[in-house]
Structure 1
């Protein structure tokens, strides 16, 4: 990871960039699954392009057999195409444990298609729950709910994790098989929303009530290509899921699905 600007992207296993609503991490430093044992990689076993290591999106183990990730990571393939790897800091290895996915729940309001003419694409309800065929033994992370509004206050320090690109457009993408983390800070919604809508390369919009935004005004760490679905964490609690970022306004904004806004919707798939 390093300081850079970026735009929302969909990444085929973190290697090939094209326009779309995904994201990962740019900036920060290497970390390990020993430090964050609930971070998992959601492997797409049938990626659209060949890759040197098995990869896909990020995710978080929130119960022994439940993973929260982004809906756009898993909405175009059947459950048989996905494997969850835990305890694997380096995706080039066979470290840790793997589980096949028994069931995929995608938020019913999620849409992954082009909007009507004249309207901006919207990042909306981008959250999914994967039920594993058998439990994983590792620790889990609690999920924010409607009582955790203080964790979303502007200025709160957050951590985002992922295996995504180390660089961002206009530079050539440089993917990494190593888990990285970056510190960011919760920021007010309106500047972030405006940055998305005014993005020259890939304008988008979102419902501020269902998203949370971050910015790193010090080192410029942000989300980049390859770690959609990865966790945003505040004080040891999962508060968001990586869905996108912006290259506008000379600012490094990143946006995440606000999990507290979907607490009621997640109760059944997480039960």
Structure 2
């Protein structure tokens, strides 16, 4: 995939925007930011329960895919923060797409990922990401660690472990990546879609060489995801330094239901009083369950 950044975005480089009180130097981009990704097979039918109408699991063979992506944003218009994405690979349309093909023809099948949870380090990231792009951001206790043995990230809330992910580093990170990735989210009773253009080099491990671990802790936030029958990783990716540019174009559609929801969805009231603070919560400290394969 070699999607180029649109010329309209390049044209306003060096200019500024002020949206909902959040100042941006344009384009809205991040540089010098390492990232990890781990992809796990999950039960496709059970995955449907996490997706709104019109969003369908992207299936490889009989399985859907859980995508865990953590980015250590080091240089952005709103400061440093970690972003921990837990998502299900998906397509968008009236009917489910065929198996496998959406992974090859992503634009045609409107493929991307539906973000189930998206904790971040700073309050300003919540204010901008949720209020402007509709991403389900909230503050969490997060870290991002790189060593010779593993690349890992932990996510805590209320003193409890929500999730922990680790991957084994690849031997080389020389594969070029230049692509557009689509994020689908639910906010304000709307299905929101935003795109990011990535330019980086990465290292990839596939199938048996994809050594990864994803742990859902005892915090109630993600307990329902344990029903997805998460299997062993089929791919891991490490990007030592990404350049990511957010598109200035956001799409949205009404979420529709068989009956009028009894409870109003989270809306702009969750955003308007947030500050522009770049401070982080304390580092995560909940214990991580020991491995069951004997490795340290």
Tell me the TM-score normalised to structure 2 length: 0.26
